[in-house]
């Protein structure tokens, strides 16, 4: 059911936001596999001219597998739209991303896009961050600094920031950028805008998995088989 929900959300985002002659940011993760399937189908059926900029090695492989036009930010520094998944989305459309370890490149690509569209299944929809996603906020760090950064985050914001260990290899997860990832499990709701900035200012932090004020719209695939969408609340 969750897989069908991912597919429905991904198809809706691609159908509603990808047009001819666009540069498209292609996100990472399981939901994005469906988005690339649909994008390739539309390119073939509608003869669309689109170029794709990946957010990770995985996204790059998906683009090549489907025969889509691969590009990069050197050639297309301004993207028309970026589509990506999320690990959790709160009521303000603040996201936690980085469960797959691609947070830095995902945030760079999203930041270069005129529109950032998110796709997710019903299990990622929360009122507050941490309600459903229990693995914490990923923080990409320079390897030599992971211990002091971990201690600083725990001291300043509570909770624990633990080094993410690999499953198929001995040792820690290494990102596409050659860095480590800390997963910060927080104890309470925070002012995410302030926390994001504060963590990024710690020496050795590369990027956080907090995406604040970035998503223009989120599509959620529902258990019922439909799709709903949400835009940021107007304050």
3-state secondary structure 191-211: CHHHHHHHHHCCCCEEEECEE
Q: Which one is catalytic: 106, 140, 187, 207?
A: 106
Contact call for residues 229 and 12 (beta carbons, < 8 A) = yes
Distance CA 193, CA 190 (A): 9
**Is there a catalytic annotation at residue 106?**
yes
* Class of residue 105 by CB neighbours under 10 A (exposed 0-12, middle 13-18, buried 19+): buried
Helices (H), the chain: 2-17, 30-46, 57-65, 103-111, 146-157, 192-200
Distance CA 110, CA 129 (A): 20
Q: How far is CA 200 from the centre of its chain?
A: 17
| Residue linked to tokens 């201690």 | 151
Distance CA 17, CA 199 (A): 33
Contact call for residues 153 and 161 (beta carbons, < 8 A) = yes
Distance CA 106, CA 108 (A): 5
Question: Among all residues, which ones are annotated catalytic?
Answer: 106
């Amino acid at each position: 059911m969750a897989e069908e929900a991912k597919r429905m959300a991904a198809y809706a985002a691609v159908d509603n936001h990808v047009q001819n002659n666009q540069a498209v940011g292609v996100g990472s993760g399981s939901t994005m596999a469906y988005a690339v399937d649909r994008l390739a189908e539309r390119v073939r059926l509608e003869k669309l001219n689109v170029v794709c900029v990946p957010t990770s090695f995985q996204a790059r492989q998906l683009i090549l597998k489907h025969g889509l036009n691969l590009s990069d930010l050197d050639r297309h520094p301004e993207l028309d739209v970026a589509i990506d998944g999320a690990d959790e989305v709160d009521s303000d459309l603040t996201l936690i991303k980085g469960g797959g370890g691609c947070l830095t490149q995902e945030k760079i690509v999203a930041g270069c896009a005129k529109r950032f569209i998110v796709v997710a299944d019903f299990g990622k929809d929360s009122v507050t961050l941490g309600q459903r996603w229990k693995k914490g906020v990923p923080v990409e760090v320079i390897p030599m600094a992971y211990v002091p950064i971990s201690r600083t985050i725990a001291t300043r914001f509570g909770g624990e920031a633990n080094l993410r260990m690999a499953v198929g290899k001995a040792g820690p997860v290494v990102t596409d950028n050659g860095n480590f990832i800390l997963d910060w499990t927080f104890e309470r709701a925070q002012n995410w805008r302030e926390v994001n900035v504060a963590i990024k200012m710690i020496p050795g932090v590369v990027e956080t998995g907090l995406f604040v004020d970035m998503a223009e719209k989120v599509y959620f695939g529902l258990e019922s088989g439909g799709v709903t969408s949400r835009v940021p609340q107007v304050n």
